[in-house]
Structure 1
């Protein structure tokens, strides 16, 4: 694979005004930025994105903020003022994409909703990410990650039977909303090449949770039964779960349709008698009789180490791996070979380590272009480059409180409060 990290990204030349905050919207904008778009984060004075106040912190800089805002620029404009709003509208004239994740109606109240902006710039892509979308009886309700996870059914199938509901270990309500927002924007940009017209993109985080339920929805409608939590198990394939070892855990997933893998698995576990047991001779029967099978397999896998099972079963082509901690996961040689951990130099925090882009295009791969911006650091340059506004005029706007060129939350005071 040719990986020219100095080549312009596939979205080079695309200008994005990013009004999003916290996670779902910034994650989508991060994807566009990793692909080479010029993403300008438009932050509200005086403190900007609330993610700046979310830990962990290094030298009072939020690493949470850094992780989803890397490579972006930051400007601060008071959109509640007439002059600030007019300034933003002129930026919209030069933009390809506007992104926001406010509660529906907020942008319209400011006079910068999709109808107004598309009338001004017909080629604009206006992307909205919200809890419940721009239509429907719940459109005005606020929502955060755990709300849509709960309402979308995801938490009802997460965790173990007869235990309290569990939230997945990552914010998939926000992350899925961000991923689908990025896909929607890319699709709209592609369609614009054909039609010459922009359009609005309406992403509901709740919709996205329904979309990722995949076979849970199919099972519900096919059987009429409510799917429930299964721990690490698969609902229709066995073995397909985590197994304890003498020093940790392994994850095993026998391939569909390869009967010999079950025979090999049983032989290596020292349980050859299971192969001829009618209760377990097909994946369907193994799933049906899982309660009887699991203790037998657990007793066997506990006798040897994680490394033993991986090195023994992997050569047979059986899908297997260690169940890693985060520290173990990021230090794997495969992750290093794929360059999935990268560092950037931040002017205050110093060297910042973060996940890299997984978008490995052969000529124009995704990559991290720099650190997450400090509040308002690019206001002067963006107004100059996009609108040809002289630094002296930007200084006047700053003196009037229309824009800010520096500032942000006082993290030291925030942490000591």
Structure 2
């Protein structure tokens, strides 16, 4: 195996933290990936037959999804059948030595296997257990199956995506899963801090997909509570804040955010509309919202005959926030991404290199880094089991019985 080149020789922020990941696909594994990027030792448990389904999602190169290469970097893979008594016994032994357990099974699955919180915390009182599920571990919906897209719908996001009167659309990525994962990471770090300050006792972090989405919905609920107002989809505009929209140019689209009072004046001056720049009624956001169609029309008319590059050049000179709509090609070719280490060339265990997203957030004292490439299924099974004191003969016998792979 060829390990990826480290970004830094500084100490890892989470060095010494031991994590067991029982998740699959997106939410749980993304949370564990984030911890791993900052130095946590992550042991990922996968089913021996096929492994994590993400290995085969979207575009495949040399038999493995390129998505897998970023989602599972810095992890160890143990192919272990948790449906067997032997497999669950090994999992318990791993959890007994861990700081964190990440799982995103449907609620009740681990309990049915004798691996619920009561059992695991008795085994390891310092354990921090991150549980990500569709609806949480409690409540009337807890047993319903829930994926990220359902969380996006129930959390209020899907109602707002798209054009007015048209079908709600997804934002193009599994944002519900990722938001849940990031909330889970926050919860883990909070629980670890509390554990350190309060005698070493662990706890459960219960993250529901829809709640993670709902938590970022800004003033959606207060507006309904105070005014009975139900926010509706608005396409590319930002309702109640003007001007902020997408405008068609001769060769594409540009986003313009001219909603600050002084920025608005500079924007209008730059597009030759001094009449709007000097209109006292438009000096505040309230006045601009009342005439948003007129303002959007003025910006749109100015952008229409110009190229995206030409529009951005003029608005940059006027210090107006504006940008093009990036594709993957635009990102890959942008020097700012590369200057900030946000595009890494990562070796794979399949023998090729692939460009992957860099590490966020950027800690200047203890930056994250790629220590190893994404594992093949069960690459680390023997080494991890040997670390538990299991002999080569025992490992061979379990492999023969299909408990491990």
**TM-score category by the smaller chain?**
over 0.9
Q: Distance in 1 between matches of 2:349 and 2:160?
A: 44
Shift of 1:331: 2.2
Q: Distance in 1 between matches of 2:343 and 2:393?
A: 41
Name the SS for the 1:358 alignment partner: coil
Flag the 1:375–1:4 CA change in 2: closer, same or farther, 3 A.
closer
Shift of 1:276: 4.3
Q: Where do residues 15-94 of structure 1 align in structure 2 (5 Å cutoff)?
A: 15-94=18-97
Shift of 1:337: 0.7
Matched, 1:390 2:381: no
Match for residue 207 of structure 2 among 203, 206, 214: 203
Shift of 1:7: 2.7
**Contact map agreement 2:7 2:369 (CA 8 A) in 1:** no
Match for residue 347 of structure 1 among 339, 349, 358: 349
Shift of 1:393: 2.4
**Contact map agreement 1:251 1:320 (CA 8 A) in 2:** yes
Match for residue 124 of structure 2 among 101, 121, 124: 121
Matched, 1:231 2:235: yes
Q: Where do residues 184-195 of structure 1 align in structure 2 (5 Å cutoff)?
A: 184-195=187-198
Cross-structure match for 1:154: 157
Name the SS for the 1:175 alignment partner: helix
Shift of 1:268: 1.6
Q: Distance in 2 between matches of 1:241 and 1:392?
A: 65
Q: Which moved more, 1:86-95 or 1:129-138?
A: 86-95
Name the SS for the 2:162 alignment partner: coil
Shift of 1:280: 3.8
Name the SS for the 1:40 alignment partner: strand
Shift of 1:334: 1.1
Q: Where do residues 202-221 of structure 1 align in structure 2 (5 Å cutoff)?
A: 202-221=206-225
Q: Distance in 2 between matches of 1:33 and 1:8?
A: 13
Cross-structure match for 1:415: none
* TM-score (norm. length: structure 2): 0.94
TM-superposition CA deviations, 1:232-276 (whole Å, max 9, x none): 2122221112222222222121253x33x2222112212222234
Cross-structure match for 1:12: 15
* TM-score (norm. length: structure 1): 0.91
Cross-structure match for 1:300: 302
**Contact map agreement 1:279 1:289 (CA 8 A) in 2:** no
TM-superposition CA deviations, 1:24-43 (whole Å, max 9, x none): 11110100000100001101
**Contact map agreement 2:48 2:378 (CA 8 A) in 1:** no
Q: Distance in 2 between matches of 1:316 and 1:138?
A: 52
Cross-structure match for 2:315: 313
Q: Distance in 2 between matches of 1:75 and 1:285?
A: 61
Q: Where do residues 162-201 of structure 1 align in structure 2 (5 Å cutoff)?
A: 162-195=165-198, 196-201=200-205
Shift of 1:21: 0.3
Shift of 1:110: 0.6
Q: Distance in 2 between matches of 1:223 and 1:134?
A: 33
Shift of 1:317: 2.6
**Contact map agreement 1:242 1:323 (CA 8 A) in 2:** no
Runs of 5+ in structure 2 lacking a partner? 1-5
TM-superposition CA deviations, 1:127-179 (whole Å, max 9, x none): 10000000100000011111111121101111111222111122111110111
Name the SS for the 1:321 alignment partner: strand
Cross-structure match for 2:380: 378
Cross-structure match for 2:337: 335
After TM superposition, the runs of 4+ consecutive aligned structure 1 residues lying more than 4 A away are 276-279
**Contact map agreement 2:349 2:376 (CA 8 A) in 1:** no
Flag the 1:158–1:349 CA change in 2: closer, same or farther, 3 A.
farther
Cross-structure match for 2:289: 287
Runs of 5+ in structure 1 lacking a partner? 405-417
Shift of 1:93: 1.5
Cross-structure match for 1:245: 249
**Contact map agreement 2:266 2:277 (CA 8 A) in 1:** no
Name the SS for the 1:141 alignment partner: coil
Cross-structure match for 1:365: 367
